[in-house]
Structure 1
């Protein structure tokens, strides 16, 4: 744990010096959130619909703060030989990846908590029916996007290329978050695709955790899907993640 904290402290300093990454992490998600305030303030919005919107906003935070920023961070540290030097030392692979991710993860969790509090007060929602399920959705989402960021870094040879390699996942998350339009309005095959993407189970678990569920079996599918995405990402990282610059 001490090694993770040490690596995270160094990464936080680098994040502070990178004004673009800092802007993406601190200001971009709140700006997106403000765009959807009019929709959330509509009359007659049900707790389930409000919970889905909150889950979508948290999903945007995870996509921007965790996934997008971390791909650039992993690639930058690899090209600077930082990962190689750390790998040659005492930290293991998991500690290096977790330490590098810790500042982005901390910011995302803080923004997600703020989103939950502000949205709950603004919409006058009742307290979450199942806080544990909501927490599992949030922390599971953080884990899967950290893993996916490391996996995306494998196919990203330069920092500049990260703007391209992260675009498909970002677009899928933005469209699949249900913020721009209700997913129920989409054709069934298209809706199913969005539900199977990494953000789908995160939003579903947050919605079930807040609005409640008659039976915990409703959470089995999103839990299984989230675990499958995480396991797939870890397998890819173990096989193909590079600790040296790609030449």
Structure 2
């Protein structure tokens, strides 16, 4: 007598996960495009801030082209990726959208990634647009080390995403995100070297600023695009890598902190 066993339930494959994430991202993108205020804020405001940063800053250590690109990445990561995602995650949570999506096939990670995709696409589009503008202005120059800016952009985008997810734990509503995001948006950005070079601060302040979450992204961009260290020294490709371990370690450390905080603190349902 032979016995038959019920087939094991199929496990989700990578293509099926990608299809689910893509479907969710497509829906989120349609919602985003219907919100004209969000489109204008995400599209126009960062470009204005990018144009203002080199004009208002006192950083003459970077040529105009790299300075614009550093500003583009820093501003869009903070004001588009982080800020918008905090509002989006909280709004979806308070509307019970996240809770409903988790009752289907989507995993928690797929929900978070799919919701973030439109914002990340806007971030990349903004940086690409500024890069095209730098070329048109004739200010483009070959990076000293191409890999460091790529690490800064991708690592910074991932960091802002996990920090946004972590920030929802103490953000009760989309409106209150204007307050809860201030420490990263204002304080850490101001001390990141994005507006004012760290070399103008007393050394203890500069060293403390280098441990903040936005600073390693700016440092890696400056090293890779122009070969300029945090204290204004100019280096070649080998020197850029020699100066990179600290910002790479700080970026990795914040990624770990943000991931742990998001995993433990993210709420899928509103607080009652």
Structure 1 length-normalised TM: 0.90
Of 83-92 and 13-22, the range deviating more from structure 2: 13-22
Match of 1:20 in 2: 37
CA distance in structure 2 between the partners assigned to 1:193 and 1:57 by the alignment? 24
Report whether the alignment pairs 1:4 with 2:28.
no
For the pair 1:185 / 2:210, whether they are aligned, the reply is no
Contact 1:144/1:230 (<8 A) preserved:
yes
When structure 1 is superposed on structure 2, of 144-153 and 234-243 the one drifting more is 234-243
Specify which of 158, 163, 174 is matched with residue 159 of structure 1. Answer: 174
Matching of residues 225-244 of structure 1 within 5 Å: 225-244=250-269
Shift of 1:107: 0.5
CA distance in structure 2 between the aligned counterparts of 1:224 and 1:181, rounded to whole angstroms: 22
Which residue is equivalent to 2:66? 51
Alpha-carbon contact 1:201-1:225 (below 8 Å) kept: yes
Q: 1:64 to 1:21 in 2, by over 3 A?
A: same
Structure 1, unaligned runs of 5 or more: none
Ranked by relative contact order (alpha carbons within 8 Å, sequence separation 6 or more), the top structure is 1
Name whichever of 76-85 and 114-123 sits farther off.
Answer: 114-123
Distance 1:81 1:39, change over 3 A: closer
**Count of aligned residue pairs for this structure pair:** 245
Identify the structure with the greater helix proportion.
1
**What pairs with 1:182-221 in structure 2 (closer than 5 Å)?**
182-212=197-227, 213-215=237-239, 216-221=241-246
Matched ranges for 1:139-178 at <5 A: 139-178=154-193
Q: What value does the CA root-mean-square deviation take over the aligned residues?
A: 2.4
Select the structure of larger CA radius of gyration: 2
* Structure 1 residues 69-148: aligned runs within 5 Å: 69-119=84-134, 121-122=136-137, 124-148=139-163
Kept after mapping to 2: 8 A contact 1:53/1:179? no
Between 182-191 and 162-171, report the one with greater CA deviation. Answer: 182-191
